[in-house]
Amino acid sequence: MTQTEPAWWTTSVVYQVYPRSFADSDGDGIGDLAGITGRLDYLHELGIDVLWLSPIYPSPQDDNGYDISDYQDVDPLFGTLTDLDELIAQAHERGIKVVMDLVVNHTSDEHPWFVESRSSVDSPKRDWYWWRPARPGTTPGEPGAEPTNWGSFFSGPAWEHDEASGEYYLHLFSRKQPDLNWENPEVRQAIHQMMRWWLDRGVDGFRMDVINMISKELPLRDGVVPTAEGDGVVPAGSVHGDGGPYYLCGPRIHEFLAEMHAEVVAGHADTLLTVGEMPGVTVEEAQLFTDPERHEVDMVFQFEHVGVDHGAGKWDVVPLRLTALKESLGRWQEGLAKAGWNSLYWNNHDQPRVVSRFGDDGEHRVRSAKLLGTVLHLHRGTPYVYQGEELGMTNAPFATHEDFRDIESVNHYRSAVELGADPQHVLAGLRRMGRDNARTPMQWDASPNAGFTAGTPWIGVNPNHVEVNAEAAVADPDSVFHHYRRLIELRRTEPAVAHGDFTMLLEDDPVVYAFLRRLGDVELLTVANFSGDPVRPAVPRYDEWLGAELLLGNVADSSGPELAPWEARVHRRTVTG
């Protein structure tokens, strides 16, 4: 982004909708497209530029739509293609672009491609997926006979035995999500064609699900079994190896993404947004993926900063160390400063609610939600807001394991308990980290189902919707909603927010998050107190900043040298030299 005009998405904010949980127009308890269309004015008022829709395609819903059985249609649960056209048209009328989820590491096992692939070892589509015989010297179907020892993300082995042919197919996620074989050029061409079809229909880009997993290193081989002792939540006895080194950013990943760009995106590049979801991606790899000269993707979702509270695995939650969070985000800011671009997010449909995770969802809920928004949006990159984040929605009070719906949580509970873990201990991990925290219905108002549905919601509504809801937030000028609205506006009105250089301050401070942005002679200071106690920030010459303009804050009439609990401020000044 040096000499040329900065891309449009550098000044944009993306809003993610998880359609199943956003707004239900027909009373079946599941959100739908017409429900989203009915809420576009709300999103317009918030001021977002882009809407990213989690999958709405036909799907058996084993992983809530991330298991797709037809890439070119809409699941009747969510409506019809006509409803989608209407949503896109109405969004465009309000100046909102629409980005689709693209899930092409795997399909559903009910996708016709897989049905055909499975039908016979001689099927012309056999090689579209990863079929392998049992490990030599073993009996197919017996535990340990899997072609490699890889574990799946959703518990159990990453291979499923197919009785009919005696072979196994690879599924990094659920057994209903077989991995596509990207080595086969026909697979790639079919996907490119499908993507072009969506662009012709008027969509404005793609969020690419686990796209750094599409290239596997050959030959497939065993991974290291991480721990013999267990990690406190998954006890000893877990036999699966980590295949990550062989499928995360594999040998042909850059080639595949460059090819996809050339085949699909080139020619529309100035108007589209592409973002690759990339678990395990390093900043060095991300530089390559997002360098505009390389024509791969515009930005990536990295996972480091949402791993800082993971102990031995995601279910083993450790307290946040703010210094670790700053070290990580600061390194990403620096790493993508010259070429490439960051995406900025706290939340999505896979992460627990940030105000419960890194803030204070009790006494200081509103203030800490504003602080978290401020810190994120003042970084350099494109911010993503996940539905309800702009209300300060919190984790849900799941009482028993039966309250969970997500396949990851349900399988994890079952397999950990089978291996002998204490059910209460497993539940405690699910409550903190379970993906369903993000998936409880959007809280529109204080009515019994939060205005989400007239029927029975597919997952429990958070009882705090009587207080935390959009209707109340829109009516209250001091709400989290209006704070987010101001942050989104600031990105457009203050060029240093989008384009300024970034310098982290106070790296070793355990409670204060502080950084500078600088563009030309404009300098911004963001300073935030990540604690429930007042603090005097050790920012060099802070007294000089106190006289500078306060662009944004989350505590009324605050001006002294001390930050109140969970206070965040953004100062602006003009400097010379």
Residues with catalytic annotation? 209, 277
Question: Is beta strand 159-161 parallel, antiparallel or unpaired with respect to 168-170?
Answer: antiparallel
Residues 6+ away with beta carbon under 8 Å from 443: 388, 391, 393, 450, 451, 452, 461, 462, 464, 465, 468, 469, 470
CA distance 227 to 236: 8
CA distance 215 to 19: 29
Between 316 and 350, CB nearer to ligand TEU: 350
Phi, psi of 183 (to 5 degrees): -65, -25
Pick one of 24, 63, 167, 204: the residue that binds ligand TEU (CB under 6 A).
63
Q: Does 226 bind ligand TEU (CB under 6 A)?
A: no
Site string for ligand TEU, 165-184 (x = CB under 6 A): --------x-----------
Contact by Cβ (8 Å): 345, 438: no
Site string for ligand TEU, 423-442 (x = CB under 6 A): ------------x-------
Q: Does 66 bind ligand TEU (CB under 6 A)?
A: yes
Q: How far is the CB of 278 from ligand TEU (least distance, A)?
A: 9
* Three-state secondary-structure class, residue 564: coil
Angle between helices 283-290 and 322-335 (to 10 degrees): 40
Query: Which 401-420 positions form the footprint of ligand TEU (CB under 6 A)?
Result: 408
Between 153 and 458, CB nearer to ligand TEU: 153
Between 52 and 502, CB nearer to ligand TEU: 52
DSSP assignment of 296-365, as one string?
S-SEEE--GGGSTTEESEEEEE----HHHHHHHHHHHHHHTSSSS-BEE-S--TTS--HHHHTS-SSTTH
Cα 394 to chain center, whole Å?
17
Between 108 and 453, CB nearer to ligand TEU: 108
Specify the DSSP element, H or E, that contains 382.
strand 382-386
3-state secondary structure labels for all residues of 408-471: HHHHHHHHHHHCCCCHHHHHHHHHHHCHHHHCCCCCCCCCCCCCCCCCCCCCCCCHHHHCCCHH
Query: Which 322-381 positions form the footprint of ligand TEU (CB under 6 A)?
Result: 349-350
Between 277 and 494, CB nearer to ligand TEU: 277
Q: Does 60 bind ligand TEU (CB under 6 A)?
A: no
Q: How far is the CB of 180 from ligand TEU (least distance, A)?
A: 12
Q: How far is the CB of 12 from ligand TEU (least distance, A)?
A: 21
Pick one of 210, 354, 385, 564: the residue that binds ligand TEU (CB under 6 A).
210
Length of the chain: 577
Contact by Cβ (8 Å): 110, 70: no
Q: How far is the CB of 95 from ligand TEU (least distance, A)?
A: 27
* Three-state secondary-structure class, residue 287: helix
Q: How far is the CB of 461 from ligand TEU (least distance, A)?
A: 21
Q: How far is CA 324 from CA 397, 507, 559, in A?
A: 28, 9, 29
Q: Does 384 bind ligand TEU (CB under 6 A)?
A: no
Q: How far is the CB of 279 from ligand TEU (least distance, A)?
A: 4
Between 38 and 279, CB nearer to ligand TEU: 279
Between 349 and 569, CB nearer to ligand TEU: 349
Cα 359 to chain center, whole Å?
18
Between 215 and 374, CB nearer to ligand TEU: 215
Site string for ligand TEU, 236-275 (x = CB under 6 A): ----------------------------------------
Question: Is beta strand 512-519 parallel, antiparallel or unpaired with respect to 501-505?
Answer: antiparallel
Q: Does 153 bind ligand TEU (CB under 6 A)?
A: yes
Q: How many residues bind ligand TEU (CB under 6 A)?
A: 14
Q: How far is the CB of 343 from ligand TEU (least distance, A)?
A: 13
Q: How far is the CB of 298 from ligand TEU (least distance, A)?
A: 18
Specify the DSSP element, H or E, that contains 366.
helix 365-377
DSSP assignment of 198-258, as one string?
HHHHT--EEEETTGGGS-PPSSP---B---SSB-SSSBTT---BB-HHHHTT-TTHHHHHH
Pick one of 97, 135, 314, 357: the residue that binds ligand TEU (CB under 6 A).
314
Q: How far is the CB of 314 from ligand TEU (least distance, A)?
A: 6
Between 382 and 469, CB nearer to ligand TEU: 382
In terms of Cα–Cα distance, which of 508, 548, 509 is closest to 525?
Answer: 548
Q: How far is the CB of 492 from ligand TEU (least distance, A)?
A: 29
Q: Does 209 bind ligand TEU (CB under 6 A)?
A: yes
Site string for ligand TEU, 522-561 (x = CB under 6 A): ----------------------------------------
Contact by Cβ (8 Å): 496, 519: yes
CA distance 392 to 468: 7
Site string for ligand TEU, 20-59 (x = CB under 6 A): ----------------------------------------
Residues 6+ away with beta carbon under 8 Å from 459: 21, 405, 436, 439, 440, 441
Pick one of 14, 68, 103, 551: the residue that binds ligand TEU (CB under 6 A).
103
Between 214 and 497, CB nearer to ligand TEU: 214
Q: Does 279 bind ligand TEU (CB under 6 A)?
A: yes
Binding site residues, ligand TEU, CB under 6 A = 63, 66, 103, 153, 173, 209-210, 277, 279, 314, 349-350, 408, 435
